[in-house]
Amino acid sequence: MRIDVITLFPEIFQGYLSESMLKRAIQRGVVEVHLHNLRNWATDKHRSVDDTPYGGGPGMVIRVDRVVPCVEDVRKLSEEWGHLILLTPQGRRLNQAIVEELATHRRLVLLCGRYEGFDERVRIILQPDEISIGDYVLNGGEVAAMVIIDAVVRLIPGFLGDEESSRQDSFSGPDRLLDHAQYTRPREYRGHRVPEVLLSGDHQAVARWRQQNRVERTRRRRADLLVLGWQKVWANDRVVCKNQPRSKDESPLPGLLRGGHCGAVWEPTQELPPAAITCQTEGPPVEFHPGEQPPEDKPPVEGGSVNNPQHAEITEETGNESEDHGACGKAIHETGDSPF
């Protein structure tokens, strides 16, 4: 992958690019990163790239007539046109799904802002993918660009060495749960013991414990990931799931979705749409039909409605489902530790 970064402060990247895994990946040719100083596209003797905002107000705004030619010239440096990203707190909020999407591109061009940001016409003319790394305001886009680079390069084949490792990370894989608790030597430290099951050598038991641990950890720390936005839908409406229910074993969220329906991906912040829509799922498309009353607390019927995956049910099912939960519970009891 080729990454071009347009910034007023290219020096900020030097340390980051010349250390550790990224340095080695660049040396091995897995990724190449090119830095471009926006100031080189200034045309006046003061090399200015910003100006005061029309209409008054504090701060400075980055000029459109500096940015557009710069991006156009940078794009021409490679035959690959590239996916242009503008870093802004007003963009779509970065998550692992977006990172995965970005990692499919052969070239990324990252545009870092400063001051009050860019003249609005930059966005209108270049139509970049506007990305925010979170709901807070940074001084500049450089740190945000480094966050994107850091997250994306992990997914480039050949970067980690073991691709499986990134699939098991938090927010990754088909269920996007948190990663399970990890332990290494010593077996016991200051009275804190490693859960017995991990020492058993029974691979299936270990796999079951880990999956159980991922679900339970996620439930305790990030219940919002488990409900995947269903909460909003369920608060108001019945959901009609048109896809075939999966068997319990196949469900990406074992023990969570009663009847084993696959989970529809729904942003918790999104309002329920006025009419039926088709949502993206890990499996076949699902249609939501808001406005219908939820049935009594019944498990879903095939191809029909889905009941609210309430937390109580999650706890109950995950608790009952695995024998190893007992082993895990025992370890907690004995050591006072919680692997969640």
Ligand X SMILES: C[S@@+](CC[C@H](N)C(=O)[O-])C[C@H]1O[C@@H](n2cnc3c(N)ncnc32)[C@H](O)[C@@H]1O
Active-site residues, by number, are: 89, 116, 154, 169
CB 339 within 8 A of CB 332: yes
Which tokens is 169 given? 């990370």
The region that residue 188 occupies, defined by phi over 0 for left and psi between -120 and 50 for alpha, beta otherwise, is beta
Position of minimal CB gap to ligand X: 113
Q: Where are the beta strands (DSSP E) in 199-273?
A: 239-240
The CA-atom distances, in angstroms, between 192 and each of 50, 57, 183 are 57, 58, 11
State the minimum distance, in angstroms, from the CB of residue 140 to ligand X.
5
State the minimum distance, in angstroms, from the CB of residue 25 to ligand X.
23
| Contact call for residue 140 and ligand X (CB under 6 A) | yes
Instruction: State which of positions 205-234 bind ligand X (CB under 6 A).
Output: none
Listed ranges 111-119, 201-209, 226-234, 296-304: which one lies at the site for ligand X (CB under 6 A): 111-119
Q: Where are the beta strands (DSSP E) in 135-198?
A: 188-189, 192-193
Listed ranges 19-27, 140-148, 280-288, 310-318: which one lies at the site for ligand X (CB under 6 A): 140-148
| Contact call for residue 141 and ligand X (CB under 6 A) | yes
State the minimum distance, in angstroms, from the CB of residue 117 to ligand X.
4
By beta-carbon proximity to ligand X, the closer residue of 7 and 307 is 7
State the minimum distance, in angstroms, from the CB of residue 248 to ligand X.
40
Binding mask 75-94 for ligand X (x = CB under 6 A): ------------xxxx----
- Coil, helix or strand for 27? helix
| Contact call for residue 132 and ligand X (CB under 6 A) | yes
Residues 6+ apart with CB under 8 A from 92: 98, 129, 130, 131, 132
By beta-carbon proximity to ligand X, the closer residue of 7 and 305 is 7
By beta-carbon proximity to ligand X, the closer residue of 57 and 157 is 57
By beta-carbon proximity to ligand X, the closer residue of 85 and 241 is 85
State the minimum distance, in angstroms, from the CB of residue 10 to ligand X.
15
- Coil, helix or strand for 163? helix
Residues 6+ apart with CB under 8 A from 273: 288, 290
| Contact call for residue 128 and ligand X (CB under 6 A) | no
Q: Residue 213 belongs to what H/E stretch?
A: helix 203-221
CB 246 within 8 A of CB 260: yes
CB 34 within 8 A of CB 4: yes
- Coil, helix or strand for 3? strand
Q: Where are the beta strands (DSSP E) in the chain?
A: 2-7, 32-37, 50-51, 61-62, 83-93, 107-111, 129-132, 188-189, 192-193, 239-240, 277-279, 286-288, 305-306
State the minimum distance, in angstroms, from the CB of residue 77 to ligand X.
22
By beta-carbon proximity to ligand X, the closer residue of 52 and 338 is 52
By beta-carbon proximity to ligand X, the closer residue of 102 and 314 is 102
| Contact call for residue 116 and ligand X (CB under 6 A) | yes
By CB under 6 A, name the binding residues for ligand X: 87-90, 112-114, 116-117, 132-134, 136-141, 144
